Amino acid sequence: MKNRLALLCITLLIVGSSYCQNEDSKSLTVLEPRVEYHENPEGLDVRQPRFSWILKGEGRNRVQSAYQITVASSKEKLSQDQADIWDSGKVVSNQTNQIVYQGIPLVSATKYYWKVRVWDESDMVSTWSNPAYWSMGLLKFANWQGLFIGHDVGYNKADKYDSLYLPPARYLRKSFSLNKKIKKATAYTTALGLYELRLNGNKVGEANFLPGWTDYNKRLYYQTFDITNNLREGENVIGAVIADGWYAGYIGYALLVRLDRVREFYGVNPSFMGQIQIEYEDGSIETIASDQTWKSNEGAIREADIIMGETYDARLENAGWDTPNYDDSQWKKPKVYTYPNGKLEAYPGTQVKNTEILKPIAMTEPSPGTYVFNLGKNIAGIAELKVQGPKGTKVQLRFGEILKNDGQIQTENLRKARATDTYILKGDGVETWKPKFTYHGFQYVEVTGFPGKPTLETITGHVLSSIETDASTFGSSNAMNNTLFKNIKTTQSANFFEIPTDCPQRDERLGWTGDAEIYMRSATYNSDVAAFMTKFLVDLDDAQRWYGAYPNFAPFPYSRPNQYAPAWMDAGVIIPYNLYKVYNDTRIVEYMYKGMEKFMQFQEDASTDYLRPGGGNNWGDWLAVNEETSHDYVGASFYGYDAKLMAKMAEALGKTEDATKYANLFENIKNAFVQKYILDNGRTIEDTQTSYALALYFDLYPNDLAEKGAARLAEKIEKNGFKFSTGFLGTKHVMLALSKYGYDDISYKIFQQTEYPSWGYSVENGSTSIWERWNSYTKDDAENSDLNAKMNSFSHYAFGSVAEWMFQHAVGIDTEDAGYRNIIIKPAISKEMDYINGSYKSINGNISSAWNWKGREVQMKIEIPVNTKAKVYIPTVEISSIKEGNKAISKVPSITILESNGEETILEIGSGTYSFRVKGVK
Ligand code: BGC
């Protein structure tokens, strides 16, 4: 076959060598070239960005033996193979990600074009990838020319707690003329507050909630937009609408608990700063920067607050304000503000975008003039209103996650989040409007004040999220579990919103660290969260307390002491570890390392004889039902887990001494832990589900007692009717621990449980999302406003952490080393399910695993991406009873039989698709 291909090549060489390559169907294909995890990112400030790609290739056992990356200063040069910036040459390596740029120093405000090709196992070269690019942002302080400008709206706040202060948005504009041919134009912009950039009447870019949330005292991110196509010769107008956002608006529960400060955590007035840089065809450069030659004003947006909502008075629109030929003589000279302390950096994460549009599935009128629209699922986002009516008509939108028994929306659980949008009509035909600077967590939109009778067309739902949840699929023979999977994704989407928030609806929406660390690995299965979580770790690092603990949430705007808690603060170690494990990312580990060391020291100082007590804010196994695990137990076990992960991360960074130090620390903690908490009969002294789950999963059990501990956990679950008594911490670990010790059947029973407390209970109660509490709602207690008013979110991803078990065990996809190069396929095949299938798009490409019973046989279908290997665990000991395709596996050359150990047979396979039939599975 190879010879035939080679021959084809020689013949075609007469026509041209590249044609020869295309004809060669066997060479690998390079797809999805990425820089710093992004597709064609604009405005990086990482001086040595990292490259990655994915490979496709027919057949089996395909690998990359070498790669070549070329980088050029123009598209043309790149296509002519003039790599004037960097040519890696042919690098003998099977690495396809985390490849560090090694060319000449990268220059501010410059675009770079790149491509990559690879050689396969027979040294056959691929065609080049599609050309890709990235651009560098403004790398030096001296590059910035703008002032922070805003508009004075006065300040009129009488009372801190009992009335809201919601100032209007500010509008800024600058008209300028361009008289030469433009080659390239770029905008570099940011705001203290939130901003929307406008050019000649249109919004620039697709992202919302710019520039993102950071500890603005430490750093502020800016965005880079290629605006070459937005400009024209003659008059142009750049504009910005700015609002309070996280910088000056209400944040979290401050109002609820009456903190000293309830808003303005970083500053009082929002301001905008930026510049556009125009490169003309003749080589000259012009910069238009924010300064006092701009004009400022108020406009139609009368109130704009992330959690309180937005009010828009269309009668006050300055029609055409962001387009040429507008008379701005009545506008003011902008006010200049200062940004004295922090750094200015390129945004590293993934920004909030409109990821889905929803049409209502129903409209009801629970009381005269009150209309309720059902969007079909519980999302984070906004509603767009379409209305026609007399000038001055005031239409109000309120938002709810569930309905009360009388059909009205339930808003008690929003606590102090007003979550109300208002639109005042200008009265000229059909008007459509959606807010810019607020968002809500909701399934239902209540419309009041509507002129006439609305229709289903009146409301459109816009789902907003920083991520796409497109990395995974899951299907099983249990419809409830399939709905559960959908609900997990919906809730992840709703809460991966600039930061991983606890919930999107009430007066909270904070980056709670406990929730994030519990859900971290689950998150990676559903979505590529590498950049998103990298950005969050910068927030977490910035928020680390001076004494070493990581706080309860990040960013941390409040000035409260002792804001840390066991299992929450550990996010500072657990999240970096998972980024390393899933994406093979050591750079983020390096970045966090100093802080993590400080955190370990803090824990050591707080410990007595290697036992870290509970301490700080003690939530323990938060929202557990019927059983309580002591906070000291939680503290001690997470300390052990941290030590174990630190040892692995130190090793990954080549810090061998540290690796030994932390490995020893782990042993010491374990010994102390065993002495205090594990009895000779294998029970924990706490004897709660959570206590077993944590100790078993964290490897804190002595080897000779672990089986007994696992048996006790299984027994307790069984005695409890295959139901949980766990909260945030236990729930994630119970099934992971059970499956680790061979109790898959019990895990499946919990997984399929529908009685309270269980996931099935929420699905059977009609939920489209994951609830904060096991008992957030029952059909009978929709009126239970007491529970609802306190703390009851219907969009809380923490209990969605079962996704980790679903993929690692039910579907059976995991990674042995960092970054899914050595994959583990070990599905929990059980009579409890007829079939399960799932897939996960890893950093190396798509992995899938499906199994089903066919009579007494099990069929398994597996897909392994190019350039990776997998160990496949098949639950039968008879090698002769496993067939692949129609052949005995011993006759399939691409399969290596590693062992058959009395319980299972372990095979090694390379890339490709495989179809197994297995007899004798019990
Ligand atoms: C949040 C939780 C968080 C908790 C701490 C709550 O208000 O919603 O998800 O982890 O506080 O106990």
Ligand 1 center to residue 503 CA distance, Å? 9
Ligand 1 center to residue 490 CA distance, Å? 19
Which tens digits make up the pLDDT trace of 325-365? 999 999 999 999 998 778 999 999 999 999 999 999 999 99
Determine if ligand 1 sits within 6 Å of the CB of residue 622: yes
pLDDT at 781: 67
DSSP state of 349: S
CA distance 346 to 364: 46
Helices of type H across 471-586: 479-495, 513-526, 530-543, 571-583
| Fold designation for 822-918 | Maltose phosphorylase, domain 3 (2.60.420)
User: 356: left (phi > 0), else alpha (psi -120 to 50), else beta?
Assistant: beta
pLDDT at 347: 98
CA distance 642 to 144: 42
CB 537 within 8 A of CB 577: no
Which tens digits make up the pLDDT trace of 461-478? 999 999 999 999 999 999
Measure Cα distances from 696 to 528, 636, 664 in Å: 29, 13, 19
> How does residue 562 score in pLDDT terms, banded at 50, 70 and 90?
confident
- Give the orientation angle of helix 689-697 with respect to helix 703-719, to 10 degrees: 150
Q: Which of 264, 303, 446, 508 is catalytic?
A: 508
The pairing of beta strand 111-120 with beta strand 132-135:
antiparallel
Residue 446 annotated in active site: no
Ligand 1 atom at minimum distance from 728 CA = 10
Determine if ligand 1 sits within 6 Å of the CB of residue 514: yes
Q: Which of 298, 303, 772, 804 is catalytic?
A: 772
Find the range with the poorest average confidence among 371-385, 612-626, 904-918. 612-626
Please choose, from the candidates 287, 266, 63, the residue with its C-alpha nearest in 3D space to the C-alpha of residue 184.
Answer: 287
Residue with tokens 């026609």: 388
CA distance 609 to 606: 10
Strand, helix or coil at 553? strand
- When the pLDDT of each residue in the chain is averaged and rounded to a whole number, the result is 95
CA distance 436 to 175: 23
Which tens digits make up the pLDDT trace of 822-858? 999 999 999 999 999 999 999 999 999 999 999 999 9
Q: How many CB atoms lie within 10 A of CB 58?
A: 13
Which tens digits make up the pLDDT trace of 123-173? 999 999 999 999 999 999 999 999 999 999 998 876 889 899 999 999 999
pLDDT at 1: 36
Annotate 191-252 with three-state secondary structure.
EECEEEEEECCEECCCCECECCCCCCCCEEEEEEEECHHHCCCEEEEEEEEEECHHHHCCCC
* Single-letter code of the amino acid located at 238: I
Q: If you average pLDDT over residues 247-268, what whole number do you get?
A: 96
Ligand 1 atom at minimum distance from 619 CA = 12
Instruction: Sketch the domain layout of the chain as residue ranges.
Output: 2-135, 144-347, 354-465, 472-811, 822-918
First to last CA, the chain: 42
> How does residue 11 score in pLDDT terms, banded at 50, 70 and 90?
very low
pLDDT at 25: 55
Strand, helix or coil at 342? coil
CA distance 477 to 238: 55
Ligand 1 atom at minimum distance from 622 CA = 12
The best mutation among 307, 495, 515 to test binding of ligand 1, ranked by most ligand atoms within 8 Å of the C-beta, falls on 515
| Atom 3 of ligand 1, residue of closest alpha carbon | 512
Its CATH class, for the domain covering 354-465, is mainly beta
The best mutation among 253, 401, 507, 512 to test binding of ligand 1, ranked by most ligand atoms within 8 Å of the C-beta, falls on 512
Which burial class, exposed, middle or buried, applies to 799 when counting CB atoms under 10 A from its CB (0-12, 13-18, 19+)?
Answer: buried
pLDDT at 9: 38
Measure Cα distances from 901 to 46, 316, 815, 873, 874 in Å: 49, 77, 21, 11, 11
| Atom 6 of ligand 1, residue of closest alpha carbon | 502
Strand, helix or coil at 378? strand
Which burial class, exposed, middle or buried, applies to 154 when counting CB atoms under 10 A from its CB (0-12, 13-18, 19+)?
Answer: exposed
The pairing of beta strand 869-874 with beta strand 822-825:
parallel
Ligand 1 center to residue 626 CA distance, Å? 19
pLDDT at 19: 34
Determine if ligand 1 sits within 6 Å of the CB of residue 503: yes
Q: Do domains 144-347 and 354-465 have the same CATH topology?
A: yes
State the virtual CA torsion across 783, 784, 785, 791 in degrees, nearest 10: -130
Ligand 1 center to residue 123 CA distance, Å? 54
Annotate 438-459 with three-state secondary structure.
CCEEEEEEEEECCCCCCCHHHE
224, pLDDT greater than 60: yes
CA distance 162 to 504: 23
| Atom 2 of ligand 1, residue of closest alpha carbon | 502
> How does residue 784 score in pLDDT terms, banded at 50, 70 and 90?
low
616, pLDDT greater than 80: no
Q: How far is CA 922 from the centre of its chain?
A: 39
> How does residue 789 score in pLDDT terms, banded at 50, 70 and 90?
low
pLDDT at 699: 98
Determine if ligand 1 sits within 6 Å of the CB of residue 512: yes
CA distance 341 to 214: 13
| Atom 9 of ligand 1, residue of closest alpha carbon | 502
> Domain 2-135 belongs to what architecture?
Sandwich (2.60)
CA distance 190 to 344: 9
Determine if ligand 1 sits within 6 Å of the CB of residue 847: no
pLDDT at 283: 95
Ligand 1 center to residue 245 CA distance, Å? 22
| Atom 12 of ligand 1, residue of closest alpha carbon | 619
Q: Going by C-beta distance under 8 Å and a sequence separation of 6 or more, which residues neighbour residue 520?
A: 533, 571, 574, 575, 578
Determine if ligand 1 sits within 6 Å of the CB of residue 507: no
Ligand 1 center to residue 623 CA distance, Å? 9
| Atom 11 of ligand 1, residue of closest alpha carbon | 512
The best mutation among 253, 256, 502, 792 to test binding of ligand 1, ranked by most ligand atoms within 8 Å of the C-beta, falls on 502
pLDDT at 24: 43
| Fold designation for 472-811 | Glycosyltransferase (1.50.10)
CA distance 74 to 85: 10
pLDDT at 336: 98
Q: Going by C-beta distance under 8 Å and a sequence separation of 6 or more, which residues neighbour residue 878?
A: 900, 905, 919, 920
Q: Going by C-beta distance under 8 Å and a sequence separation of 6 or more, which residues neighbour residue 695?
A: 637, 673, 677, 678, 684, 701, 709
Which tens digits make up the pLDDT trace of 33-59? 999 999 999 999 999 999 999 999 999
Name the strand (E) or helix (H) holding 597. helix 587-606
- Token pair, residue 701, equals 């059990």
State the virtual CA torsion across 906, 889, 810, 532 in degrees, nearest 10: 80
pLDDT at 8: 39
> How does residue 22 score in pLDDT terms, banded at 50, 70 and 90?
very low
Measure Cα distances from 218 to 65, 140, 339, 500, 559 in Å: 44, 17, 10, 20, 15
Determine if ligand 1 sits within 6 Å of the CB of residue 517: no
CA distance 178 to 82: 33
CA distance 673 to 293: 67
7, pLDDT greater than 50: no
Find the range with the poorest average confidence among 5-14, 495-504, 586-595. 5-14
Ligand 1 atom at minimum distance from 798 CA = 9
Strand, helix or coil at 304? strand
* Single-letter code of the amino acid located at 396: Q
| Atom 8 of ligand 1, residue of closest alpha carbon | 502
Which tens digits make up the pLDDT trace of 270-304? 999 999 999 999 999 999 999 999 999 999 999 99
Which burial class, exposed, middle or buried, applies to 916 when counting CB atoms under 10 A from its CB (0-12, 13-18, 19+)?
Answer: buried
pLDDT at 2: 38
CB 917 within 8 A of CB 892: no
620, pLDDT greater than 90: yes
* Single-letter code of the amino acid located at 552: N
The best mutation among 519, 622, 795 to test binding of ligand 1, ranked by most ligand atoms within 8 Å of the C-beta, falls on 622
Q: How many CB atoms lie within 10 A of CB 157?
A: 13
Name the strand (E) or helix (H) holding 117. strand 111-120
> How does residue 615 score in pLDDT terms, banded at 50, 70 and 90?
confident
pLDDT at 5: 40
723, pLDDT greater than 90: yes
| Atom 5 of ligand 1, residue of closest alpha carbon | 619
Measure Cα distances from 851 to 429, 647, 819 in Å: 57, 36, 24
- Structure-model confidence comparison of residues 173 and 789, the more confident one: 173
Ligand 1 center to residue 564 CA distance, Å? 12
Edge-to-edge strands of the sheet including 234-243?
202-203, 194-199, 234-243, 170-178, 295-297
Ligand 1 atom at minimum distance from 515 CA = 10
Determine if ligand 1 sits within 6 Å of the CB of residue 216: no
Percent of the chain whose predicted confidence (pLDDT) is above 90: 91
Residue 772 annotated in active site: yes
Determine if ligand 1 sits within 6 Å of the CB of residue 619: yes
Which tens digits make up the pLDDT trace of 522-552? 999 999 999 999 999 999 999 999 999 999 9
Query: 144-347 has which CATH code?
Result: 2.60.120.260
- Give the orientation angle of helix 530-543 with respect to helix 587-606, to 10 degrees: 40
Annotate 640-680 with three-state secondary structure.
HHHHHHHHHHHHHCCCHHHHHHHHHHHHHHHHHHHHHHECC
Ligand 1 center to residue 405 CA distance, Å? 27
Strand, helix or coil at 298? coil
